[in-house]
Amino acid sequence: MTAVDDARSRRKQALAWAMYDWGNSAFATTVMAGFFPIFFKKYWSAGADVVHSTWHLGVANSVASVVVAVLAPMLGAFADESSIKKLLLAGFAALGCVTTAALYFVGKGDWQTATWLYIGGTLGFSGSLVFYDALLVSVATPEESDRVSLLGYGLGYLGGGLLFAINVLMTLKPALFGLADASTGVRWSFVMVGAWWAVFTWPLLRSVSEPHATGLQPGAVRRAVVQVVQTLRRVRAMPVVWTFLVGYWLYIDAVDTVIRMAVDYGMALGLPSQSLIIALLITQFVGFPAAIAFTKLAAKLGTKRGILFGIGVYVCCTVLASMMTTALHFYALAVVIGLVQGGVQALSRSYYSRLIPADEAGEFFGFYNMLGKFAAVIGPVLMGLVGLLTGSPRLSILSITVLFVAGGAILMRVEEPPVRALDR
């Protein structure tokens, strides 16, 4: 294969890889950030106090995050040992698709069943990302990693936003779709997310080449467990990798908390649910070009400085959110957050990919996802707990700034430029 053919093949695989972001982002937008918090408060938790429903939602997010945190390192090592990242990604994606679609059948007031299905969907979403992230090194060289990673996030914003826009229209104009009312539109939206996610998983499964795909080998589980322990020791012995992971653990928790709890916070302030949904759409469609544009910012400032810039914007937005009073304020913050959200996520992933051994990407990304998803335990529970203790939703959102500031401070200590662990 010539150099031109090789480059063309990598571009094709990179696009197929990024299309998984297009598909699974529907769960992050329509379900996690959008309709689930609203439906959970107004339909499945009808009549409950807003502070307590926020607590329940925070606990649901945290339980799913704990499960992923416990499983992620071993899953990553198991994937490397058996070279079946795509198969395991498909399994977790299937779990997410099925449990998300099953939300259609949950009746009014049954918040417990809704919670368990949401945990299943979140587990499928987060678990699949362990293997999706690990496949980045298969479709991009270190020099291409920023661009390809940002392409994934950019397509995620566009694809997730496109389906979300259709779902929003289904709730605003249900008669256009032959639906009885807005609630029926929301329930059918959960089914559509499951189908959308499944369809756009196929390009990755079909086109992305997984090196040394030898299939499941005897004793793989035992060796994977041993390898996890060994990798933890190796990570601790790599100051650059370890410092980055600690900082990432803190600031990405705050990012995930804003994504998952922003609508719930707006509803606790009494803002109209329709305005909150519009704000989410704004974030999605601002986020698409902004994530792509972050490539130029990273090239000019450096990847680490690009992440720190995004964290600084988040701190300002969180402080301003604690003082907002109108839907217009929420719209303005949605625009600003959309400008940096995808950039912070994508640059963090590509930055980390250059710090780790490429041939052990699944295992090292297992730790990456473990810290990121385990950190998501802190933010939602922190918001819920502060809300319960103070009775103030404004103080609950303000508490998230602690995580942004601490994570950014630790990230500043990471050596620049990053040195690949493989080259040590």
Q: What is the Cα–Cα distance from 158 to 23, expressed in whole angstroms?
A: 10
E-strand spans in 220-340? none
Most confident of 23-37, 228-242, 253-267: 23-37
Q: How confident is the model at residue 195 (pLDDT cuts 50, 70, 90)?
A: very high
pLDDT of residue 104: 93
pLDDT of residue 386: 85
The string of pLDDT tens digits covering residues 222-248 is 776 776 677 778 888 888 888 998 899
- Residue type for 317, please? C
Q: Are the CB atoms for 286 and 401 separated by under 8 Å?
A: no
Indicate if the pLDDT at residue 173 is higher than 50.
yes
Indicate if the pLDDT at residue 71 is higher than 50.
yes
pLDDT of residue 418: 44
Burial of 180 (C-beta count, 10 Å sphere; 0-12/13-18/19+): exposed
Better-predicted residue by pLDDT, 305 or 72: 305
Q: What is the CATH number of domain 10-207+221-423?
A: 1.20.1250.20
Indicate if the pLDDT at residue 423 is higher than 60.
no
The string of pLDDT tens digits covering residues 405-420 is 999 999 999 876 444 4
Q: How confident is the model at residue 377 (pLDDT cuts 50, 70, 90)?
A: confident
Indicate if the pLDDT at residue 163 is higher than 80.
yes
Better-predicted residue by pLDDT, 395 or 193: 193
pLDDT of residue 94: 97
Q: Are the CB atoms for 340 and 313 separated by under 8 Å?
A: yes
Indicate if the pLDDT at residue 82 is higher than 80.
no
Collapse the DSSP code of 108 into the 3-class scheme (helix H, G, I; strand E, B; otherwise coil) and give the result.
coil
Q: What mean pLDDT is predicted for residues 17-22?
A: 94
C-alpha dihedral (370, 375, 377, 380), degrees to nearest 10 = -140
Take residue 258 and report the two structure tokens written for it: 């804003």
In the block, tokens 């650059």 appear at 240
Q: What mean pLDDT is predicted for residues 257-263?
A: 79
pLDDT of residue 421: 40
Q: Are the CB atoms for 129 and 345 separated by under 8 Å?
A: no
Burial of 423 (C-beta count, 10 Å sphere; 0-12/13-18/19+): exposed
Angle at CA of residue 96, ends 331 and 168, nearest 5°: 30
The string of pLDDT tens digits covering residues 320-371 is 999 988 888 988 988 888 888 878 888 888 888 888 877 777 677 767 766 6
The string of pLDDT tens digits covering residues 91-129 is 999 999 999 999 999 988 788 898 899 989 988 998 898
Bond preceding residue 417 cis, omega within 30 of 0: yes
Q: How confident is the model at residue 422 (pLDDT cuts 50, 70, 90)?
A: very low
* Mean pLDDT, the chain, integer: 82
Q: DSSP letters along 149-207, please? A: HHHHHHHHHHHHHHHHHHHHHHHHSGGGGT-SSHHHHHHHHHHHHHHHHHHTTHHHHHH
pLDDT of residue 84: 80
pLDDT of residue 260: 75
pLDDT of residue 345: 82
Take residue 71 and report the two structure tokens written for it: 């499983």
pLDDT of residue 424: 37
Take residue 31 and report the two structure tokens written for it: 């379900």
Collapse the DSSP code of 377 into the 3-class scheme (helix H, G, I; strand E, B; otherwise coil) and give the result.
coil
Which of 11-15, 213-217, 277-281, 295-299 shows the lowest mean pLDDT across its residues?
Answer: 213-217
